[in-house]
Amino acid sequence: QVQLVESGGGLVQAGGSLRLSCAVSGLTFSSYAMGWFRQAPGKEREFVAAISWSGGTTRYADSVKGRFTISRDNAKNTVYLQMNSLKPEDTAVYYCAATLIAIATSGGEYEYWGQGTQVTVSS
């Protein structure tokens, strides 16, 4: 079956960095675009970043542009989210997701989701 497993979350001080990973199995990873979303307590899930199947196209939410970088390694079936200059408002559960759409920024366009990893940024 399809599995997306996030890792790398944790507690970090404002201004710090974290690198999230999402290991994917059960599908042809190189055929899927990937995305990262997040959901803070009491808030709706929001788009963070997306990457095309080849890695040649990326999209970012305005709130993370210039601070976060999405990348992928198709040989390792893994997508990454490098998060720098973290702010308390980045605190959320972060989810990775997979879609056959070339690149997507809406959660409704993704077919498969991971369980999430908690990121907490202290001030």
Phi-psi map region of 88: left, alpha, beta (phi>0 left; psi -120 to 50 alpha)? alpha
List pLDDT tens digits, range 47-95: 999 999 999 999 999 999 999 999 999 999 999 999 999 999 999 999 9
| Whole-number pLDDT of residue 44 | 97
